[in-house]
Amino acid sequence: MSSSVERAAELLGHAAERDVALGPFTTYRVGGPASLLLRAASEPDLALARKVVVETGVRVLVVGKGSNLLVADSGFAGLAVILGDGFSAIEIRPDGLVVAGAATSLPVLARRTAAAGLTGFEWAVGVPGTVGGAVRMNAGGHGSDMAASLVSWTSVDLAGGPDGRAPAATLELRYRHSSVRPTQVVTSAELQLASGDRAESETQISEIVRWRREHQPGGQNAGSIFTNPPDASAGQLIDRAGLRGHRRGSAHVSPKHANFFQADEGGSADDVRSLILEVQQEVEARTGVRLEPELRMVGFEPIGGEPSTRGRG
């Protein structure tokens, strides 16, 4: 264990958990352990994490619901931070302004806002993530995304940078992208939704759930692996390359949707990663299009357009 990790463990004291498997915190359910884990129940816990990171330089990984995360079998040699229920409050105001904690489940928020007679967030019922993760990657689906309703966001920078509330314009939101840094913990988001009809919104939600069940697989996956290139579908390109159902060790391309990669129960994160790399190379060789991963991969060398995970975060 590195000196920075040991020092971080000393400063965190009883708040730190050692060598905790991260797979159970992800929808892939595979992957190795974090050297240290902190479950942040409140703002003071994040303040402690910030103090530790600044003083020790320990690498830090912010884990949401893990629906867009794959951790290498070797694990993460640093401090993983997970937000607790203290960050899952929802406030719905009469003017349609909604303030949601970063740990709030997107499907829960979609149903709560629809029940309140608000429209504009129905799409999120099919995204198995949290508000914080959705801000970070500008999550979306069914013709909308976070950028359509996000007004502002609040954060804590564990590396010692500026904290607090900022307008959505500071995020440089575009397709599956924001400027949120790896060390920034999104703590809440403010959304502006429109008045709607509860029955219509709940019908729309039911249709989205039905469509996803019919067209997308369940099981151990993280949703879409690659972003769609301009004027094309990543899933269709993978299918045309003859890779639907293709297997690599304990991972395979879903026969139901070619942009979903499944992990076997008790499987290997490294097999998932190898499958991603193989599919990326094969599709480029056969179609000339280089697919870029939207999945966040930690503990591996970067590929394609994926951000490096070797530095902090």
**pLDDT tens digits, residue range 108-131?**
999 999 999 999 999 999 999 999
Q: Where are the alpha helices (DSSP H) in the chain?
A: 3-12, 43-56, 106-115, 131-137, 198-215, 234-240, 269-287
Q: Which fold has domain 3-83?
A: 3.30.43
In the chain, residues under CATH classification 3.90.78.10 are: 218-295
The pair of structure tokens assigned to 307 is 């951000």
Give dist(CA 298, CA 198) in Å, integer.
41
CA distances from 17 to 64, 224, 298, 309 (A): 17, 31, 19, 22
Please count the CA atoms within 13 angstroms of the CA of 273 that sit on its side-chain side. 21
88, 101 contact by CB (below 8 A)? yes
Q: What is the mean pLDDT of residues 33-39?
A: 98
Give me the pLDDT at residue 310, please. 37
Rounded to whole angstroms, the Cα distance separating 130 from 127 reads: 8
Predicted pLDDT at 86: 95
Assigned CATH topology for domain 88-196: 3.30.465
Residue 301 confidence (pLDDT)? 79
- Strands 140-141, 144-145: parallel, antiparallel or unpaired by DSSP? antiparallel
State pLDDT tens for residues 171-198.
Answer: 999 999 999 999 999 999 999 999 999 9
Which parts of the chain are beta strand (E)?
A: 17-21, 33-40, 60-63, 69-71, 76-83, 90-92, 97-101, 118-119, 140-141, 144-145, 150-157, 164-167, 184-192, 194-195, 247-248, 251-253, 261-263, 296-298
Over residues 133-148, the pLDDT tens digits come to 999 999 999 999 999 9
Helix (H, G, I), strand (E, B) or coil at 27: coil
So which residues are the catalytic ones?
176, 224, 294
**Model pLDDT for residues 213-257, shown as the tens digit of each residue:** 999 999 999 999 999 999 999 999 999 999 999 999 999 999 999
Check pLDDT > 90 for residue 262: yes
Mean pLDDT of 281-287: 96
Distant-in-sequence, close-in-space partners of 93: CB < 8 Å, separation ≥ 6:
99
**What percentage of the chain carries pLDDT values higher than 70?**
96
The CATH 3.30.43.10 domain(s) of the chain lie at: 3-83
The CATH T-level fold of domain 218-295 is 3.90.78
At residue 303 the predicted structure's pLDDT band, cuts being 50, 70 and 90, is low
Paired with 97 in beta bridges are 192
pLDDT surpasses 80 at 306: no
Mean pLDDT score of the chain = 94
pLDDT of 313 over the 50 cut: no
CA distance 104 to 115: 16
- pLDDT at position 308, please? 39
Express each pLDDT in 66-112 by its tens digit: 999 999 999 999 999 999 999 999 999 999 999 999 999 999 999 99
When pLDDT is averaged across residues 263-288 and rounded to a whole number, the result is: 97
| CATH 3.30.465.10 domain locations along the chain | 88-196
Give the pLDDT score at 2: 86
* pLDDT above 90: residue 200: yes
Predicted pLDDT of residue 220: 97
- Exposed/middle/buried for 6, CB within 10 Å: 0-12, 13-18, 19+? middle
Q: How many residues in the chain?
A: 313
